[in-house]
Structure 1
Amino acid sequence: MLRFITSRLLQSAIVLLVMSFIIYGLIGLMPGDPIDIMVNSNPGYTAQDVARLRAQYGLDQPLLTRYWNWLQAAAMLDFGYSRTYSQPVLVVLVPALIQTGKLVGLSFVVFTVLALTLGVVAALTKGSVLDRLINLLAFAGISIPVFFLALMLIYLFAVRLGWLPASGMFTIGGDGSLGDTAKYYVLPVLTLTAAFVGRFTRFTRASMVEVLRMDYIRTARAKGAGKLRVVFKHALRNALIPVVTVLALSFGALLGGALITETMFAQRGMGKLIFDAIMGNDFNLALMGLLFATTATLVSNLVADIAYAWLDPRISLS
């Protein structure tokens, strides 16, 4: 196990290195740079001032040279300053990372529990009215775009009913208590949950239907094993293996959904921060935000591989 984890961490480091070069290159090829924005906001700058600023910030150097200088600084944990916030990049990123972690983590737990429950129920009642109703809801969740779903939830619960706030992270002038901030999470979590629960319900149902046909399930029933034991110990554990794969591979899509959700509900998370950094040509902030998203995807895949061995002892990680 330790050897496997060490190997995967080494592979992840290589992937991050390659991704840092690709992301840095793509951001560097974007039209405009921070100096252009400074010049547009200060029309009195001369051509000599612009040249001096480009030399001061190293923007007059070739792209490869600039990337090598950034990589050397990053190796010393110096990720530069955010032009937009005039603070070190990590100081800006950490609060946004925590905010997104809360939103994505809560949504992940809620839609995973719902998807597993609904998928198992649909598989056990295959062909019934309940199965068709669950499938209909799953297809509806898959079909509705995240931004449209967010707008409909805002209209229903915030505008028409007035039960929940439409956007924000806390009440201005409020006490900042858990109860005050919790109500601002309800609609974003509900949006992400509704957007992802449908596809994972379908995956769980299909995997459970296939596993319930296996010979060892019939053998367990023939030996007198109870229905709950057959479903949860023999069937569900094996059915979860492909579902875990899909969950891990979809983590990047979950972060993408968080970008839209955070924008719609004015949540200052990683998605909103990366979007604002790209639009504002804040190179250092955008680069590190995208690398954090890449790291989260790599970690989710590593956790999925470890979960395989726990779900199926026949799988060896050596």
Structure 2
Amino acid sequence: MVKYILKRIIQSIPLLLLITIISFLIINLAPGDPAAMFINPEKMTKVDIETIRHNLGLDKPLHIRYILWLKNMLKGDLGISFFKNRPVTEILMEALPNTIVLSIAATLLSIVIAIPAGIISALKRNTGWDYTFSTISFVGVSIPSFWFALMLLLVFGAKLGWLPIGGMRTNYEEFVLADRLRHLILPTIVLGFGNMATDMRYMRSAMLEVIRQDYIKTARSKGLAEKVVIFKHALRNALLPLITLFGFMIPGLIGGAAITESIFAWPGIGRIVVEANFTRDYPIIMGELVFTAVLVVLGSLIADVLYAIADPRIKYD
């Protein structure tokens, strides 16, 4: 297993390099100029404009700028934000814990609801339970997250006033757990609902396939209790597709939190990147893309490891 993990890490290096090249080209060749945010043609001379572009590092050829960025990135330096005038690494690390808290809460919500609902839906196929959970899953997949977020804000925030409509806390002078949890509820529901719907469908499909297998029929014929058959023999194999999906949920939650964090004013990485796109803050955008690419590789690797743990028959060489 250790050799396999090392091999996968080495194989991922060219992939990550290719991702950075493509991302850098797309960002820098997109219409618009970040220097325009600082330039006032009516009050600045040509020398002033060239000085601004030089200070931002935009006066060099594209390939030179990429090589310089890559050298600094390999040293752990993702550059300086154009508009915040702070190291990108420092900005992202400050926001990362907030995004992790939101992502973990959304993942737990998804798993806690999706797995039992998927099992019940499969075991009670073509009943009211199955139709109810299937409807919920289809609605969850179909509803745009921004619309769902706005509806929750309107109902539970503006109309009923039960929950705060934005931010991470009300009291900034001291840590109050209850206050943090109240702010966490709505963004967690929005971020977790889509994943919950997808996981529910996967769980139902996997469980339906497993309970038709011969070894399940054999277990039942031996007189084992239904709970033992389902939770000891069927569930472990039915979870295998979800384990693969879970590996890719990790970067998806980080990247997918952008809309949710922006709507709820949650101070996470997603919100920072949305702001960076509006201001064409290239260093922050590139830093987030590298971070997400690394998470995709790690997520795939984690899924493989968990897959082998769940199914001892699988061996990686």
TM-score range, shorter chain: over 0.9
Q: RMSD between aligned alpha carbons?
A: 1.7
> Which residue of the partner structure matches residue 262 of structure 2?
263
Kindly provide the amino acid, as one letter, of the partner of residue 28 in structure 1: N
> Which residue of the partner structure matches residue 236 of structure 2?
237
Report the Cα offset of residue 282 of structure 1.
1.0
3-state secondary structure, aligned to 1:87: coil
Distance in 2 (CA, whole Å) between partners of 1:287 and 1:149 is 29
Distance in 1 (CA, whole Å) between partners of 2:307 and 2:168 is 37
> Which residue of the partner structure matches residue 132 of structure 1?
131
3-state secondary structure, aligned to 2:239: helix
Confirm or deny: 8 A CA contact 1:146 1:257 kept in the other structure. no
1:139-170 alpha-carbon deviations (Å, 9 max, x no partner): 12112110111111111111222110011111
Report the Cα offset of residue 174 of structure 1.
5.6
> Which residue of the partner structure matches residue 74 of structure 1?
73
Where do residues 244-283 of structure 1 align in structure 2 (5 Å cutoff)?
244-283=243-282
Confirm or deny: 8 A CA contact 1:33 1:281 kept in the other structure. yes
Kindly provide the amino acid, as one letter, of the partner of residue 61 in structure 2: P
Distance in 1 (CA, whole Å) between partners of 2:150 and 2:171 is 22
> Which residue of the partner structure matches residue 23 of structure 2?
23
Where do residues 164-313 of structure 1 align in structure 2 (5 Å cutoff)?
164-172=163-171, 175-313=174-312
TM-score by structure 2 length? Answer: 0.95
Confirm or deny: 8 A CA contact 2:255 2:292 kept in the other structure. no
Report the Cα offset of residue 126 of structure 1.
1.2
Name stretches of at least 5 consecutive residues in structure 2 with no aligned partner. none
1:249-291 alpha-carbon deviations (Å, 9 max, x no partner): 3444433431111111011111111111121111111110121
Runs of 4+ in 1 over 6 A off after TM superposition: none
Where do residues 13-162 of structure 1 align in structure 2 (5 Å cutoff)?
13-40=13-40, 43-162=42-161
3-state secondary structure, aligned to 1:81: coil
Name stretches of at least 5 consecutive residues in structure 1 with no aligned partner. none
Number of aligned residue pairs: give it: 317
Distance in 1 (CA, whole Å) between partners of 2:42 and 2:164 is 42
State, as a whole percentage, how many aligned pairs show the same letter: 37
Kindly provide the amino acid, as one letter, of the partner of residue 62 in structure 1: P
Call closer, same or farther: CA 1:173–1:304 in 2, change over 3 Å.
Answer: closer
1:200-245 alpha-carbon deviations (Å, 9 max, x no partner): 1011001100100000111112223222221112111111111222
